[in-house]
């Protein structure tokens, strides 16, 4: 067994969450050394059944967000199981849950009740729309993508709105929950007391929409769908080459100058329609065909090689396997073996306390016997 030297070694996390936002958050905590006990109902986490795709009969969705955890199955309607859950909460440093707001109160597992017996508990609740007027609204990422406005920004201007290719706000909410947890643990080190952290997907969405939500609240401007174009930059989109599209970016005037030099059209830099970013953005319909005319003369890989060498941001549009392969080519080692299960490496690098890859995603109640015995000791 690999020795646990992670920065969160010694932190016990009672994970009462399921599906994505919470399990993703707790997997990252577990990677960093926390002892995460995954509490599941008798039927297990929903994502165990979200298939295809599968690996050895197990949903890859579940495998992707549950490594380095131990599993115990508890039926909170059973007196003995409920007592075990309450004892786990009493011993934990962190408890994370994504039940409907208030849903754990009837089991004595809400923050107020847990904190009576565990004053140091850092208790994180993740919901879709908060614990107030939105408490009864189901918290699915797709709903939040729709309500927040993200889908109104995604797709072609004349086409229908689209969702993002992943449950982006579940992931954001999980990350925001972890920021809150780590901040609360730091505060506890000084005060000795824990606190209740609440994260909801809609608030994470509005924060994560960054420049677009700022346009609304600070600029009284409602953004709209622009396909792959950017409202404030040009070029910043896919442009066609001889054999496919290449993302081409000129984030400043210097990059545009380099782009024109590599393309062999330096005269465009001196054209008053294109000299500054705001000019290029205003005159994108005139500039785009001039760039495309040159880009179509060579392949996307040839342009990628030469433009990157000149310091111009660009990228081919890969499928996911191509993205993994490119990370491998760069020496980022994106895939780790956890037991016999390939998994995507934790994205954080530590110089002294590296993430661990010790436990493969657990089977349902795989560690139930040992955890129950420990809770009774």
Task: Tell me the C-alpha distance between 63 and 283, whole Å.
Answer: 48
What H or E segment, with its residue span, contains residue 12? strand 12-16
Q: Is 170 a catalytic residue?
A: yes
CA distance 214 to 196: 28
Token pair 């730091």 is found at 186
Alpha-carbon gap, residue 274 to 266, rounded angstroms = 11
Catalytic residue among 78, 170, 285, 321: 170
3-state class percentages of the chain: helix first, strand second, coil last, to nearest 5: 40, 15, 45
Give the β-pairing of 69-73 and 195-200. unpaired
Token match 């508890």: residue? 74
Q: 53 preceded by cis ω (within 30°)?
A: yes
The answer to whether residues 159 and 220 touch, using CB atoms and an 8 Å cutoff, is no
185 token code pair: 């643990």
DSSP 3-state of 362 = coil
Three-state SS for 47-83 is HHHCCCCEECCEEHHHHCCCCCEEEEECCCCCHHHHH
Q: Active-site positions?
A: 170
């Amino acid at each position: 067994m690999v020795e646990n030297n992670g920065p969160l070694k010694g932190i016990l996390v009672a994970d009462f969450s399921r599906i994505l936002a919470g399990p993703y958050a707790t997997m990252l905590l577990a990677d960093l050394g926390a002892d995460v006990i995954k509490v599941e109902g008798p039927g297990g986490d929903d994502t165990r059944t979200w298939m295809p795709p599968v690996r050895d009969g197990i949903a890859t969705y579940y495998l992707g967000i549950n490594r380095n955890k131990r599993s115990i199955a508890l039926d909170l309607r059973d007196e003995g199981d409920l007592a075990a859950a309450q004892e786990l909460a009493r011993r934990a440093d962190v408890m994370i849950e994504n039940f409907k707001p208030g849903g754990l109160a009837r089991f004595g597992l809400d923050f107020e009740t847990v904190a009576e017996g565990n004053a140091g508990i850092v208790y994180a609740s993740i919901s879709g729309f908060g614990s107030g007027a939105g408490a009864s609204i189901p918290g699915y990422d797709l709903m939040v993508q729709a309500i927040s406005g993200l889908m109104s920004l995604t797709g072609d201007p004349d086409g229908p709105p689209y969702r993002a290719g992943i449950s982006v706000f579940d992931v954001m909410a999980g990350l925001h929950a972890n920021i809150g947890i780590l901040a609360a643990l730091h505060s506890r080190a000084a005060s000795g007391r824990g606190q209740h952290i609440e994260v909801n997907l809609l608030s994470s969405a509005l924060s994560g929409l960054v420049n677009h939500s700022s346009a609304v609240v600070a600029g009284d401007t409602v953004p709209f769908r622009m396909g792959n174009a950017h409202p404030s930059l040009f070029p910043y989109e896919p442009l066609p080459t001889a054999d496919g599209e290449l993302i081409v970016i000129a984030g400043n005037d210097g990059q545009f100058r380099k782009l024109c030099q590599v393309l062999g059209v330096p005269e465009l830099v001196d054209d008053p329609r294109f000299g500054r970013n705001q000019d290029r953005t205003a005159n994108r319909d005139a500039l785009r065909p001039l760039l495309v005319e040159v880009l179509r003369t060579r392949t996307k890989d040839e342009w990628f090689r030469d433009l990157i060498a000149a310091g111009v941001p660009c990228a081919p549009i890969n499928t996911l396997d191509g993205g993994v392969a490119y990370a491998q080519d760069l020496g980022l080692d994106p895939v780790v073996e956890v037991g016999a299960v390939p998994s995507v490496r934790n994205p954080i690098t530590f110089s002294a306390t590296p993430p661990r890859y010790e436990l493969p995603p657990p089977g349902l109640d795989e560690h139930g016997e040992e955890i129950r015995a420990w809770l009774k000791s």
